[in-house]
Structures are given as structure tokens and as C-alpha cells.
Amino acid sequence: MKYEGWPEPGELVVGKVDEIEDFGVFVDLEEYRDKRGLVHISEVASGWIKNVRDHVREDQTVVAKVLDVDTSSKQIDLSIKDVNDHQRSDAIQEWKNEQKADKWMELAFGEEMADDRFRAVANELVAEFGSLYDGFEQAAIHGEEALEPCDLDDDDVDAIVSTARENVSVPYVTVTGYVHLESPSPAGVDDIKSALRAAEGDADSVPDEAELEVTYVGAPEYRVRVEAPNYKTAETELEAAAGRATEDVEAHGGTGEFHRERQLEEEA
């Protein structure tokens, strides 16, 4: 998606070197429609520059800082030397993410989607999440709920969520805990199995963005492992799973206890 309008002074922009002159470099801005900037020779690199071509080449992708914008003369002054390696890496990654998001928009709505509709949907996502990519990422994690603040119809929301969940690689965190389950009942084995099923939960008790696994460690101890997009959700679901197991086993006359470390290892 290319933005209308003009970049702001101080903003970092991604561009492609179009022309190289003795006095500087002309750069086509990749993120802005029909916008071009000039990097004066003094802003190409630090120190004295004998030949600009020693530092840049045609068609090279560069990250530049916007120094000044004069909309009346349609001039954008840029600096390449004022961008450090960390800023350059982050800006390139964000630009690549937005390119991915553009493709996801095509997958969601088709390549023949009218420009005005594309921009209407894209602008809603950018206004709410800051970028198209972040909008799709939140849709992948939280589903339709994430898009409720956006002024989008149900078909648009469905298309974004389904495309996001098929294509977005969501960063996940993993947390692990243990439940100590015992039952003195003659049907104790069945009671423990029931508690473990309770821990695993169902579609109503475990949100779509979380993955939960319960495994046997060594009686009477069982491991609960949760993957989720963030630690808050992961910790919440871990404690909820342990709580369901404890409640279920206690309902059958047994005992249950949740702890973060494996007790068998501590006692060994």
C-alpha cells in the first residue's frame, strides 16, 4: 500500500535509488505514491565524498531520514547518513511486512478489488492498528474481536480473519506448569483421567489463539504446556487449565495442586 500525502520531517522512509548525480541522489519513495526525494551529496555518507557512486548504486533500496518537505515546490530533502544500522534494519523489516500485507489483501479480496474499496479497508486497519501488517496479525491472534473497532462489514471481517489465520505467522510464547493429582477412590484412575480431560478443556473454555497440551510426567504429576501470543494469555490459560483439573479431581474426592516446577525433580 502506498500512502497519499507527504512524509513528515524526521520520518524514516524506504526508497529506491533512481538517479545518481554529482551533487546527490534522487530516491523514489516506496511507501508514498508518486513521491521522490533528494539526498544531497553531503547527506549520502559521513566524511568527504569524492564519488557518490562509491556509496550508492542505481536501483539500490535505501532507508533515509526526511530532513525537510516543501509541498509547494514538491521537494523532499533526505539523509542517508543520519540512519544507523538498527534503524535501517527495522525500517526495511516494516516495509517488507507491509508488502506481505498488500499480498494478503489481494488474497482476501481478489486482485480485481477496486482501488477505492482497497483503500477504505486498508485505511480502517491502519487507523486502528498503525499498519496493515499489524491489523492482519491481530486478526490472526484475536479473530473477529480484534476488528470490532473498525468500520468494516461482516464480509470484510470474515475475509481478513480467514486470510490472516491461513497466512500470518504469529509469534508465540510458551509457559509450563505442573498439577499434582491424587485420588484415593477405587475408581482413582478414571478420576484422574476425568481431571486431565477437564484440564485440556474444550472450544468454549480455551480461546482459539491458545494451544494447550497436558502430558504425563510420572504419577501423580502431570505437565501442562500452553502456547499463546503473549505471556498474559499464556499464564491465564495455564492457571485455568490447572484449576479445571483440580476442581474436577476434588469433586471426586481427590486432591489437586498446581505448581510451576517439577516436584519430582526437586525431591530427587
Asked whether the predicted pLDDT for residue 239 surpasses 60, the reply is yes
Taking Cα atoms as reference points, which of 9, 21, 122 lies closest to residue 75? 9
Q: What is the mean pLDDT of residues 67-72?
A: 96
Taking Cα atoms as reference points, which of 72, 87, 113 lies closest to residue 14? 87
One fold for 86-167 and 173-267: no
**Start-to-end Cα distance in the chain:** 59
DSSP state of 8: P
Q: Which residue has the higher pLDDT, 238 or 229?
A: 238
**In this predicted structure, what is the pLDDT of residue 78?**
98
Per residue in 94-117, pLDDT tens? 999 999 999 999 999 998 888 888
The CATH class, in words, for 173-267 is: alpha beta
Architecture of the domain spanning 86-167? Orthogonal Bundle (1.10)
Grid-cell match 484422574, residue found:
192
Confidence of residue 262 (pLDDT cuts 50, 70, 90): low
Asked whether the predicted pLDDT for residue 267 surpasses 80, the reply is no
Asked whether the predicted pLDDT for residue 266 surpasses 70, the reply is no
pTM above threshold 0.75: no
**In this predicted structure, what is the pLDDT of residue 263?**
56
Strand partners, 215: 223
Q: Over pLDDT 90: what percentage of the chain? A: 72
Asked whether the predicted pLDDT for residue 93 surpasses 60, the reply is yes
Domain ranges of the chain: 12-82, 86-167, 173-267
Q: Over pLDDT 70: what percentage of the chain? A: 96
Asked whether the predicted pLDDT for residue 218 surpasses 60, the reply is yes
Confidence of residue 264 (pLDDT cuts 50, 70, 90): very low
**In this predicted structure, what is the pLDDT of residue 1?**
64
**In this predicted structure, what is the pLDDT of residue 115?**
84
Q: What is the mean pLDDT of residues 9-30?
A: 96
How many CB atoms within 10 Å of residue 114?
A: 9
Architecture of the domain spanning 12-82? Beta Barrel (2.40)
Taking Cα atoms as reference points, which of 66, 53, 55 lies closest to residue 14? 66
Per DSSP, the residues of 185-225 read STTHHHHHHHHHHHHH--TTTS-TT-EEEEEEEETTEEEEE
Strand partners, 189: none
Per residue in 132-182, pLDDT tens? 999 999 998 888 889 999 999 999 999 999 999 889 887 788 889 999 999
